[in-house]
Structure 1
């Protein structure tokens, strides 16, 4: 009584799956997206009804864009997909768009907006990148974002974020802007016992400086 199903009259036998309303199929496929991108692809290719759910809001919002996160430059070849996922607030899409806008197109305002959306939603590597970029002038705010990664307890998470950032920015020119160098000078610790060339060992005095240094000179 709640649904009006559109059944193809040319089909003699209708499976239970095909008889389900599209909204319910969208829910099913969105659960598959959570589990595995490969399973999702196989799922939407398995039949026309499931394929039609590919544009469902819940799916576009959760869709894992890992291949494009690793190589943001490839997103230029997937403009329709990027538009759809951005419209549904996909965090990967915001991250990719932020990198392209900020670094490639040198549109810092729009780039920071997209990175901020993803960072504020809790995407860890984006929190790291967003924090480092903020340290170009908004140092206090940048440090607050880095602190969200709980580096004082364990630097493993920060190190993993750094590795992912390097992969995403590979092949993209990161300019050594004067504002970066100015912030770096201001963050440089005065303590003589901080070994500034040892990137693996940090303390409360040199942590922020070393993260900024890596971004400027080692990306």
Structure 2
């Protein structure tokens, strides 16, 4: 008995484990035979498929027709839910669907989703709630993780309009921070200063 002759449920488990470790190996299996091409559509495969190799950060204009992202998201793949939210909110701009997907991934503990959903809420005039997501990421995962998330998500601002950019600028006036805290370079700062700096870093990639 050859591998393609195994029962579908067994092949689904095998391909799910392969795809969960390596997208390149998943593609190799997909191209190897029609059986794996059929099995690749199974929910247990798409739910576990690791898309980080196929769509590495920093994310900038991910093709909105990348159907595999939306297929995986449909079956609960958390990273795919994040990517679909990013595409929808920043690039295609059905914002309601996009922000809902970002929230779903953020609530599942996806780091970049927590960061980007927080920034999206801040843009939507929900400064306190948005700040809470970013501060939670900071406290639970550490400052370096926040920095990495900011770097990974930095280029989404390239698709922001000047008007959208100005919304973030206006928020600076609403954040109460100590002048001494803002000037310093310490990672451990007060909550207000931390959010102030994060908004600045987020929009600083965009230049006029």
| Alignment TM-score, normalising by the size of structure 2 | 0.81
- What's the counterpart of residue 3 of structure 2? 17
1:160 to 133, 137, 148: 148
Determine the C-alpha separation between the residues in 2 that align with 1:54 and 1:188. 51
State how 1:66-85 maps to structure 2 within 5 Å.
Answer: 66=52, 67-68=54-55, 70=57, 71=59, 73-78=61-66, 80-85=67-72
Aligned residues: 201
Determine the C-alpha separation between the residues in 2 that align with 1:86 and 1:17. 28
| CA apart distance, 1:72 | 5.3
CA 1:73/1:16 → structure 2, altered by over 3 Å: closer, same or farther?
Answer: same
Is it true that 1:91 corresponds to 2:73 in the alignment? no
- What's the counterpart of residue 126 of structure 2? 138
- Report the RMSD for the aligned CA atoms in angstroms: 2.6
Is it true that 1:118 corresponds to 2:102 in the alignment? no
Is it true that 1:182 corresponds to 2:175 in the alignment? no
1:56 to 31, 38, 42: 42
- SS of the residue corresponding to residue 40 of structure 2 reads helix
- SS of the residue corresponding to residue 133 of structure 1 reads helix
Determine the C-alpha separation between the residues in 2 that align with 1:72 and 1:140. 27
In our comparison, the structure showing a higher alpha carbon Rg is 1
User: Structure 2 stretches of 5 or more lacking a match?
Assistant: none
Structure richer in helix, relative to its length:
2
User: Structure 1 stretches of 5 or more lacking a match?
Assistant: 1-14
